[in-house]
Amino acid sequence: MRHRLWAVAGGAAALTLLTATAAHAEGEGDIRVTKTVVNHGKNVIVGTTKVVEYPIAITIKDDSGVKGLTRVSTFNSSNGYGFGDWIDTTCQRTSSTTSVCTATMKIDPAWIAGSDDIDSNKVAGTWQVNATVKANDGDYWISDRIAEFKMKRASKLTTDATPEPVAKGATLTVAGKLSRSNWEDLKYHGFTGQEVKLQFRPAGANTHYSTVRTVKTGDAGKLSTKVTVTSAGSWRWYFPGTTTTARVVSAGDAVALK
């Protein structure tokens, strides 16, 4: 089963991953969607080349038993645009009245720019799921906004600490760059004006990284700050993400003492 899903209409709603009832629904009989989980409760993150597949697990209940899904669509809750390919559905019966039907969705970044007539980057953000479900006795239900989730642009982050090695008490410059995927030209561009955390972990320590300071990205997403070195260890940048851009942590750059 393959269904290419492009722009459709949708309304704004509060963020939720699980929902017992749809915001707007109609149909016939007592069949209902009782729970929906998108991508195991995680954000869906799309870059510039990698094809992404993610599951939508829909729990359905009817006194005659569940036949399956006849429609699944996903799109931005604010502007109504969406992209994706519904490529498969499997249903697992959990009782005589209840089944969990999982729709597999596929996104190829190459499709995105042609799926709307606006800046495709504006399609990132809060998305919703609509679905039509059917029972063995012919009951059906058209369910709108049975779940909402975040569709985010992938991001990248680098770290470069110099000089290496460095004398204790000397000044170390930690640079880096934050960039995110552009769904129009399928390239990564610097992300300016974002707060990014500089973190440090002492060498040989069995501890997590700790935040030293917060720095805002400049032109082209560039980062740079100076710190006084007190011990050997690894430095990295951490970006917590936004509603439209994924969180990202750079690889650590280990700096030894002279």
Residue 20 sits in the same domain as residue 144 = yes
pLDDT digits (tens, 9 = 90+) for 115-124: 999 999 999 9
Residue 27 sits in the same domain as residue 118 = yes
Domain count, the chain: 2
Residue 102 sits in the same domain as residue 189 = no
Domain extent for 201: 155-255
By three-state DSSP, how is residue 41 classified? helix
pLDDT digits (tens, 9 = 90+) for 154-167: 999 999 999 999 99
Question: Which of 128, 152, 176 finishes a domain?
Answer: 152
Residue 99 sits in the same domain as residue 63 = yes
Kindly state the tokens that stand for 202: 């002492």
pTM of the model: 0.89
Distance (Å, whole) CA 23 – CA 37: 16
Residue 34 sits in the same domain as residue 118 = yes
pLDDT digits (tens, 9 = 90+) for 165-219: 999 999 999 999 999 999 999 999 999 999 999 999 999 888 899 999 999 999 9
Residue 145 sits in the same domain as residue 162 = no
